[in-house]
Structure 1
Amino acid sequence: MSDSAFATQSRGSSEMATMNITPLVDVMLVLLVIFMIAAPVVTRSLPLDLGRGNGRSEPPPRVQLQVQADGNFLLDGVQLGAASLDAALRSVAQRSPDSVVQIDASGDADYQGFTTALASARRNGLGHIALRP
């Protein structure tokens, strides 16, 4: 049994069979060059109008609107019912139409009170609304 079909190495040779990776490296370098050339061509730009600043350095006035659990509202610390909320927000919008209304709902307030406050602010022309977590 000197000649075996499964012999990996000849008895007199100390050489091992190795895989030639030179063609693999060549192909990878060619692919790298292709992607480096193609990447800037594929990028798309998004048209974006940044607008112009109005030169105003002060932020717009903030109005704090709190929704309470009992269904009432606090507008800058003044207690209001659902019926008088529209009139109060209308006067805020007439004084300063770019006011930011910051709506703060207490943890146990119902969802209806929050949506009432949001709808009333939008209905009276106050479009800048901030929600406080």
Structure 2
Amino acid sequence: MAASTYAPRLRNDAMAEMNVTPLVDVMLVMLVIFMIAAPAITKTLPMNLPIPSETPPEPPPRAELRVDSNGGFVLDGRVLNEAGLQAALDDIARRDPTTVLNVSAAAEAEYQGFATALAAAQGSGLGNIAMGD
């Protein structure tokens, strides 16, 4: 009769060991998460927040520039040519460079007139240019 030495033995007693592999895996994952998150949580950002004043700030002055269908320019009700437009915009920028210039064009106006108005506004030093309809 043959007997095998590698045959599994039948165990009647309960297994007394705890499998710690899943516990170690979870702990390592949590360690990595905390190592990544900890610098973001503890780091502060230096900020200089504005102090609110009791009076609201005064809105900047506004100017209206319209390009006509015939290629002319109307700045705050004054009809101007291209040279006069540049001089008038330079004068506005000299008085207050924070002036908001609202540039609009007639539906029949050519694009070149609108581009000329924008170039004159940019050349005068006005930085707040709004485009209207």
- TM normalised by structure 2 equals 0.59
2:71 — aligned with what? 71
- Name the larger-Rg structure: 2
Report the Cα offset of residue 57 of structure 1. Answer: 1.3
Q: CA RMSD in A?
A: 3.7
1:42 — aligned with what? none
* Residue 57 to residue 70, structure 1, CA distance change in 2 (3 Å): same
Distance 1:122 1:74 in 2: 17
CA contact (8 A) 1:89 1:124 kept: yes
- Structure 2 counterpart of 1:71, one-letter code: G
Instruction: Report how many aligned residue pairs link the two structures.
Output: 110
1:80 — aligned with what? 80
SS of corresponding position for 1:103: strand
Q: Which runs of 5+ in 1 are unaligned?
A: 1-48
Pairing of 1:1-133 with structure 2 (within 5 A): 57-133=57-133
Report the Cα offset of residue 130 of structure 1. Answer: 0.3
1:34 — aligned with what? none
SS of corresponding position for 1:129: strand
SS of corresponding position for 1:63: strand
Distance 1:53 1:74 in 2: 39
Paired-residue identity, %: 46
Report the Cα offset of residue 127 of structure 1. Answer: 1.1
